[in-house]
């Protein structure tokens, strides 16, 4: 399985690193232009907004490329080698997920470190200023909130990838000899709606939340902080500023069970049902 993970990374590294190089070039141009008098990028809000858009765009392109490579393996002859390897369907799927998460991590860390390098080059400041900057950030965004947000993002990315892979495999198995390119997307939209509706109903039927700070079980009536939490994903609610977080117990269990079911289901379809 480890060899196949390396194979997946080698098969995608040129495209992903190309995206990263393009983002670096654009960021360098932005920083260089920002030093000019009258530059539009003197506005911190505009600069940060464009920077976030670049990161989001790079992540989206990488995501679509990774998804597209799996689709090609299902519908084109290039998948013959993959699906005839001495690996189980779960091992093939697990390798693809690990490679995808690896590249998302590389993109995120790479862009953050490159931004820091550009700040040091174009706006050099003393080491004391760095500590003051991190101190100011920690007052606005707690470390605990960053951890919760990161875990939630990983959870969400894996969930979406699993649902997309399952939709592709299911559409391939259902229509074995027909190449209907967009059918998997229709299946994905339908399943997303169904699973989302079930999640909402479960959260209402069983409104019990686990406070991740105290590990006490709360209800919306007694847990007033829940109303102040701005971010919600896969049953997790948290306030990024206060660092408080809670998860709907039933919703979290449902999402975890759904992820396991999608993983096993996709692995089974790949191993037993894909007609090469």
User: Which residue would you say has higher pLDDT here, 271 or 214?
Assistant: 271
Confidence of residue 262 (pLDDT cuts 50, 70, 90): very high
85's tokens = 């390897």
142's tokens = 């707690």
- Determine the pLDDT at residue 152: 80
Detail the DSSP E strand segments found in the chain. 209-211, 217-218, 231-233, 236-238, 245-248
Question: CA-CA distance, 180 to 174, in Å (whole number)?
Answer: 11
Residue linked to tokens 């391939």? 172
pLDDT in tens, 146-171: 777 788 888 888 999 999 999 999 98
Q: Determine if the pTM surpasses 0.85.
A: no
69's tokens = 């490579």
**So where are the chain's domains?**
1-124, 141-276
Whether the predicted pLDDT of 87 surpasses 70: yes
247 with 211: CB under 8 angstroms?
no
Residue linked to tokens 């093939």? 92
- Determine the pLDDT at residue 37: 59
61's tokens = 């392109």
Question: CA-CA distance, 116 to 133, in Å (whole number)?
Answer: 12
pLDDT in tens, 197-207: 998 898 888 88
Sign of CA dihedral 158, 66, 17, 23: negative
Which residues lie closer than 8 Å to 115 by C-beta, 6 or more apart? 27, 51
Confidence of residue 260 (pLDDT cuts 50, 70, 90): very high
């Amino acid at each position: 399985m480890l060899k196949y993970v390396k194979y997946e990374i080698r098969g995608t590294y040129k495209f992903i690193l190309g995206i990263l190089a393009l983002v670096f070039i654009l960021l360098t141009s932005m920083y260089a232009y920002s030093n000019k008098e009258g530059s539009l990028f003197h506005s911190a809000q505009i600069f940060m907004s464009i920077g976030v858009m670049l990161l989001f765009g790079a992540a989206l392109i990488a995501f679509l490329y990774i998804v597209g490579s799996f689709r090609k393996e299902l519908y084109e002859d290039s998948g013959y080698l993959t699906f005839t390897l001495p690996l189980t369907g779960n091992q093939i799927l697990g390798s693809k997920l690990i490679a995808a998460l690896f590249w998302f991590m590389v993109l995120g860390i790479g862009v953050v470190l490159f931004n820091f390098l550009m700040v040091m080059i174009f706006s050099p400041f003393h080491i004391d200023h760095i500590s003051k900057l991190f101190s100011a950030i920690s007052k606005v965004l707690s470390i605990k909130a960053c951890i919760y947000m990161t875990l939630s993002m990983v959870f969400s990315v894996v969930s979406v990838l699993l649902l997309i892979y399952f939709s592709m495999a299911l559409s391939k198995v259902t229509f074995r000899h027909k190449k209907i390119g967009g059918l998997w997307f229709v299946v994905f939209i339908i399943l997303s709606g169904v699973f989302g509706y079930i999640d909402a109903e479960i959260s209402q039927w069983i409104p019990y939340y686990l406070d991740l700070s105290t590990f006490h079980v709360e209800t919306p009536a007694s847990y007033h902080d829940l109303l102040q939490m701005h971010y919600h994903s896969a049953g997790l609610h948290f306030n990024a500023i206060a660092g408080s977080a809670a998860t709907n117990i039933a919703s979290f269990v449902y999402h975890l069970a759904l992820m396991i079911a999608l993983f096993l289901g996709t692995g089974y379809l790949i191993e037993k049902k894909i007609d090469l």
